[in-house]
Structure 1
Amino acid sequence: MTLRSLLLVFAGGSIGTAARLGVALWIPDAGGFPVATLAVNVLGALLIGILAARLPQTTGLRVFLGTGVLGGFTTYSAFMTGAVELWADAPLLAFVYAAASLVLGLAAAAAGLRLGRPRPPARLDGAAAA
């Protein structure tokens, strides 16, 4: 860990956590269901997937965007807290929230990795690439 990497994570994390707060203020919980947390975690998983497919792990931009911005934007602790709080009043809803977070997060990360992969160059002869 270098001082540069630490500063990149610090700066990015500040942006990401501010963005998460903005989403939480913009999208209120629905009947105790943490909609904003689910939204930021699924969107974050998609974006982290794209980033992982596009940028080498050792670049400063990936440290800033991935570990910093998107690490600050997504939140495992709020996900767990939301699930536990829901469990007290609505165990079935808590299960749905936890399962949806897991399934949608995995699907979003997989989609991000797929979307982020470089495409092979188009063929000029009109033949379909195999």
Structure 2
Amino acid sequence: MSSTLNTTPVHLRLPYLCLVVGGGTIGTAAREGLTLAFPPAGGIPYATFAINVSGAFLLGLLLDALVRMGPDDGLRRRIRVMVGTGFMGGFTTYSALAVTTAGLLGEGGVGISIAYGLGTVLIGGAATGAGITTATVLHGRSRARSARQNPDATLNGGAR
């Protein structure tokens, strides 16, 4: 590796940009497929709501799990960039939320558009917190299992 490559920010490095584009393409296709498979019911796009909330949960789970695994480099960074930034960025989009909310507002549903937009943001934030909490619980169980399988490691400073 050249020293220039090491000082170039990750978001400007071509290999990482390719990972984001690849992940984003797959995430966008997944979102579009789900929104086509589950059309709005009663004028409310439940699929977009479910995509945004589940994506927020999965992103919280992913990022917390990656942080607990060690520094943001190598494979962990590539996973974060491709899955977190790329796939989840394409799967859950602010633009889909904005367009959906504006569409509901345009149809005369001021109350439902405000509830939908605000509800998605608030529930999405809670879902992110739930993803982080889930990753924390899973990490604790993994450490407990490791300690049971290798008690000497716990005595010598703990398993990582």
Shorter-chain TM-score range: 0.7 to 0.9
Distance in 1 of aligned mates of 2:36 and 2:53: 17
Q: Which runs of 5+ in 1 are unaligned?
A: 125-130
Match of 2:153 in 1: none
- Bigger drift between 56-65 and 78-87 goes to 56-65
Q: Which runs of 5+ in 2 are unaligned?
A: 1-11, 149-160
Q: What letter corresponds to residue 119 of structure 2 in structure 1?
A: A
Residue in structure 2 matching 1:112, options 115, 128, 131: 131
Task: Provide the secondary structure at the position in 2 that maps to 1:55.
Answer: helix
Task: Provide the secondary structure at the position in 2 that maps to 1:28.
Answer: coil
Deviation of residue 31 (structure 1)?
2.1
Report Cα offsets for 1:62-113 as digits up to 9, x if no partner. 1000011111100111111111121131111112111220121011000011
Distance in 2 of aligned mates of 1:5 and 1:14: 14
TM-score relative to the length of structure 2? 0.72
Distance in 2 of aligned mates of 1:17 and 1:81: 15
Greater relative CO, 1 or 2 (CA 8 Å, sep 6+): 1
Could you list the structure 1 runs, at least 4 aligned residues long, displaced by more than 4 angstroms after superposition: none
TM-score relative to the length of structure 1? 0.88
Identity among equivalent pairs (%): 41
Q: Which has the larger radius of gyration?
A: 2
Match of 1:72 in 2: 90
User: Where in structure 2 are the equivalents of 1:1-130 lying within 5 Å?
Assistant: 1-56=12-67, 57-58=72-73, 59-88=77-106, 89-117=108-136, 118-119=139-140, 121-122=143-144
The structure whose residues are more often helix, as a share, is 2
Distance in 2 of aligned mates of 1:75 and 1:102: 12
Q: CA RMSD in A?
A: 1.8
Distance in 2 of aligned mates of 1:71 and 1:115: 21
Q: What letter corresponds to residue 101 of structure 1 in structure 2?
A: T
Distance in 2 of aligned mates of 1:46 and 1:79: 16
